[in-house]
Amino acid sequence: MLNESKLEYGRLSLVFGLLLRWLSWFSRERIVLLAAALALGIGAIKPWYQLPPTTLDAFKTNLSVTHLGRGLSAFFVCLSLMLIFRPSPSSRAHRLSYWCGFTIALLFPYFVTTWMPTIDYISAFIYDREGSVTAHVKMNANQIQAQWKQNIQLTPSSPITTTFDLPFRNARFFQLSSWDRVWKSGFGYSRSFLAFIGRGWMMSGLGFGIGLTALYLGLGGSGKGAFQIFLGDMSKFLPGFAIGFGILVISILLPGMVNYQLDAMFARGEYHQVLVVSRIVSSFFPPMNTDETFLKRIAEAGFYGDEPEPSLISFAKGVERYRLKDLAGAEGFFQESLELNPRRAVVRGYLATTILNQAVQYYNTSYNTEVPNTRKPGSAIDRFEQVLRVFPNHIEAMYDLMLASFVNGELERSAKIAKQIIEAESYAQLPNLSLLGQAYLHSAWITYKDGDPALAWKKFRQSTDPKTWDSMEEEGEP
């Protein structure tokens, strides 16, 4: 009996010993590294940036390059798991790797806005037009229930003329109050760009921060020792990072300075030099290709210097006709320019805006304040649909088409456009409350007309309660 007790005690001691040894393996560093690997894993799965695919296709671009960020996260997931099971503390090379990964993640907006300017233009355009729609909804909120939007008039649209918001005009540009624009426009941390940032980028940045914290936690065992090592790393890493940051800042500011000099060269009649320098600048700094003033100056220099570029000349003529409010004439020139160069984003934006403003004119001028029922918005609907063929998921055009279709008695079309708005807003980091509220309201109306008041009530709740937006849009779709 005594031997059996001793044997049982020995077994329990062995089990508890193994358990304690297993638990001791989970140090602070390993647990935090595991959390970093989890965050980086989410960053490798989720997209780093997102825009409607049909819009990207129309602009002849894609987001495939942004998938490299997901590959970076996947690499650091493997590195984190390797470091969890390593027998020795992390080396400086490991920490440098994490600092480099963290820096690349922070520079992701810069890479996209600088080397993929069409993506930046699309996000800026959609974000700006969402603001216009929000203002229209708020301004006409009292008319929503008054004869159910029959009295609402539409607002003319405006094009995005540039995504390059760093004009250098005088020495005051170098005042500290102006340098927030360098961060927003130069490094890509603008509201419009971040409006469509993906969870993958955010979780990856968090993962890199957690991973660095874990590596320093595992050094020396004492906070003072880890801090001393951190200071030592900074003394080694910061000079290189500072040089790289300085080069980036110069590369961001220099095109604005050259652009300022191009105005002076154009005024002196040095048209050939303007064309040569403009081509060099646009090659090394692609955002200049989305600047209206820059493109118009190239067109004019080519025209006066007998080196014309037909697509840009047509664009410049279109801009002039647009400013003279000759929308039909402007549309023809923009269409011609786009056919010659389908990849020029600013031309497509101008063409979409021109057609949209024609549709708004057709819609508003058909309105009779004395007899609202004689309104004939059908002529505007075709133009709204043409805008969506030129610029798919154009938020303002979809909103106007949804309203015009409803006023025209085409409830099914209105509900279909509402569904497209809801789908388009799913790509935004923070969906537009006013726009989605109206979309769900139109979706509820057609459901009620179809004889399903219970489902209509649920959809009406979606128009007023954002908490219900993720539920049941599949059921009872028109």
CA 301/CA 263 separation, integer angstroms:
11
The CB-side HSE value for 401 (13 A sphere, CA atoms) comes to 27
Residue at 57: amino acid letter: D
pLDDT digits (tens, 9 = 90+) for 25-59: 567 778 888 899 999 999 999 999 999 999 999 99
**Weakest mean pLDDT among 134-148, 185-199, 227-241, 389-403:** 134-148
CA 288/CA 163 separation, integer angstroms:
8
- Nearest Cα neighbor of 255 from 273, 279, 239, 272 is 279
- Quickly list DSSP for 411-438: HHHHHHHHHHHHHHHTTSSS--HHHHHH
Q: Cβ–Cβ contacts within 10 Å for residue 10, how many? A: 10
The CB-side HSE value for 352 (13 A sphere, CA atoms) comes to 30
Helix (H, G, I), strand (E, B) or coil at 49: strand
Residue at 88: amino acid letter: S
Q: What is the share, in percent, of the chain residues with pLDDT greater than 90?
A: 49
Which value, in Å, is the radius of gyration of the alpha carbons in the chain? 29
Q: What pLDDT shows up at residue 176?
A: 62
Q: What pLDDT shows up at residue 298?
A: 95
CA 142/CA 151 separation, integer angstroms:
10
- Nearest Cα neighbor of 91 from 223, 235, 229, 225 is 229
Residue 474: band (very low, low, confident or very high) from pLDDT cuts 50, 70, 90: very low
**Token duo for residue 284:** 């090394």
CA 447/CA 438 separation, integer angstroms:
14
CA 297/CA 291 separation, integer angstroms:
10
pLDDT at 309 over 80: yes
Residue 165: band (very low, low, confident or very high) from pLDDT cuts 50, 70, 90: confident
- Nearest Cα neighbor of 112 from 100, 121, 99, 103 is 121
The residue among 427 and 185 whose pLDDT is bigger is: 427
CA 75/CA 73 separation, integer angstroms:
5
pLDDT at 390 over 60: yes
- Phi/psi of residue 85, nearest 5 degrees: -100, 10
State the alpha helices, DSSP H only, in 107-222: 108-115, 117-139, 180-181, 191-194, 199-217
